[in-house]
């Protein structure tokens, strides 16, 4: 069996998470991803803990999660000879993905306009905090950004945290990863469009746009009602964690009909007449101060399994608040074959979560371990860029690769 992106060649000039994750999604679907890294140091995440080394081979926990199924080629793009080698690779590529500081690739003569002059079919995905295209630049254009700063500026952080508490950071890497997801979606769309037009395109993928789009419900409700949600408040339906005797579950009650079943399940039909719980929006606003405390009068007298059984039988959306070790051993993930085993000589076999894409007509991704820095330099420059042994030796002597 084949994979959807077999035959597609991607050059990734990525660092940290957003661009590497975007490229890894494409690699997991069959694309040949060539990761371009600085000689000697590579992607900064190669130095992140936890760090492993054995028999001269190095592995970083901060690097392993976003770089499987790739090749690593070292090129110093700041040197003219290195830039020329990259241009030769780009002539044979379908996609370039980069998240360097805005303007960096253009200053090196390796921006979209320059590369597309040699390869009009090239799709160039530029990931940044606030966007690149001149006609869409706002007051933050060019400002340096990381995941946490984008979560803060997008409004997502203002809604995250304990009720009554201060805003808090959500899942670390959340903005980076979702930007990578949207970037991969854009690349896939551009590849499909190229089949019709024969032309490539520039993709301007901004982290701020991504996270603002994920706050869509909050922005729409503010537009319609003026409400500004605080940490721990949902916007359209009562939902959130509820304590039980031996842990915590999460319940969602998005309709009037489900609320009737919920009240019956917790043996509290009187809540149907509560003046602060008469509509879905009322119940959303008063989940923390009214509905949750009233529900916990029943749930805290019962075990997690008892509450789950009762709510599942009532047809209510409910889930256990699982810890990471519980998720790691979850039989649902095992049934879905979501844990991928990769053999890394520096630390042995380890497991990573798969890309959550499962096609009936295509096989799943390979499990090639993330590459050592520059391990594919000679093969890729020879086979893809047509650089011979003597030329490669000269490039190495200059430190260009």
For the purposes of burial, counting CB atoms within 10 Å of the CB of 356, is it exposed (0-12), middle (13-18) or buried (19 or more)?
exposed
DSSP helix/strand/coil, 353: strand
d(CA 304, CA 319): 10
Which candidate, 281, 77, 89, 97, places its Cα nearest to that of 179? 97
Residues 6 or more apart whose Cβ sits within 8 Å of residue 50 = 60, 61
Q: How many Å is the Cα radius of gyration of the chain? A: 25
For residue 250, what are the CA distances in angstroms to 44, 172, 302? 38, 21, 15
DSSP string, 175-216: HHHHHHHHHHHHHHHHHHHHHHHS--EEEEEEHHHHHHHHTH
**Residue 255 CB neighbours (<10 A):** 11
Residues 6 or more apart whose Cβ sits within 8 Å of residue 341 = 349, 350, 351, 367
Contact 70, 371 (CB under 8 A): yes
| Helix or strand holding residue 86 (H, E) | helix 80-91
Residues annotated catalytic, as ranges: 176
Output the 3-class SS for 266-307. Answer: CCCHHHHHCHHHCCHHHHHHCHHHHHHHHHHHHHCCCCHHHH
Length, in residues, of the chain: 401
State the Cα angle at 78 between 76 and 82, rounded to 5°.
50
For residue 134, what are the CA distances in angstroms to 60, 142, 143? 37, 11, 14
Which candidate, 329, 273, 268, 331, places its Cα nearest to that of 301? 268
Residue 50 C-alpha from the chain's centroid: 21
For residue 275, what are the CA distances in angstroms to 36, 252, 270? 61, 20, 11
């Amino acid at each position: 069996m084949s994979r959807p992106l077999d035959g597609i060649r991607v050059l990734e000039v990525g660092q940290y998470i957003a661009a590497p994750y975007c490229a890894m999604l494409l690699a997991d679907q069959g694309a040949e991803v060539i990761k371009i890294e600085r000689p000697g140091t590579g992607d900064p995440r190669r130095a992140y803990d936890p760090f492993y080394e054995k028999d001269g081979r190095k592995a970083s926990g901060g690097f392993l999660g976003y770089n499987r199924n790739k090749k690593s080629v070292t090129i110093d793009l700041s040197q003219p000879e290195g830039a020329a080698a990259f241009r030769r690779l780009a002539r044979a590529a379908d996609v370039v993905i980069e998240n360097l500081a805005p303007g960096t690739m253009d200053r090196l003569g390796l921006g979209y306009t320059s590369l597309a002059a040699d390869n009009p079919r090239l799709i160039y995905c530029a990931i940044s905090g606030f966007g690149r295209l001149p006609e869409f630049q706002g007051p933050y254009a060019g400002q340096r950004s990381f995941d946490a700063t984008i979560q803060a500026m997008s409004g997502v952080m203002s809604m995250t945290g304990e009720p009554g508490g201060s805003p808090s950071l959500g899942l670390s890497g959340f903005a980076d990863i979702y930007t990578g997801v949207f970037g991969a979606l854009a690349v896939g769309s551009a590849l499909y469009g190229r089949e019709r037009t024969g032309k490539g395109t520039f993709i301007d993928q901004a982290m701020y746009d991504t996270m603002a789009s994920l706050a869509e419900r909050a922005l729409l409700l503010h537009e319609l009602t003026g409400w500004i949600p605080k940490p721990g408040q949902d916007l359209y339906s009562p939902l959130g964690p509820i304590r039980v005797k031996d842990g915590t579950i999460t319940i969602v009650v998005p309709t009037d009909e489900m609320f009737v079943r919920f009240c019956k399940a917790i043996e509290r039909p009187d809540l149907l007449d509560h003046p602060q719980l008469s509509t879905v929006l009322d119940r959303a606003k008063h989940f923390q101060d009214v509905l949750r405390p009233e529900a916990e009068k029943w749930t805290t007298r019962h075990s997690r399994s008892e509450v789950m059984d009762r709510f599942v039988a009532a047809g209510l959306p409910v889930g256990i608040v699982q810890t990471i070790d519980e998720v790691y051993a979850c039989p649902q993930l095992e049934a879905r074959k979501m844990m991928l085993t990769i053999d890394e000589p520096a630390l042995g076999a380890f497991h990573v979560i798969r890309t959550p894409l499962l096609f009936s007509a295509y096989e799943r991704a390979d499990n090639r371990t993330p590459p050592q820095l520059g391990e594919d330099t000679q093969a890729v420059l020879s086979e893809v860029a047509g650089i011979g042994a003597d030329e490669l030796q000269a490039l190495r002597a200059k430190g260009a690769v």
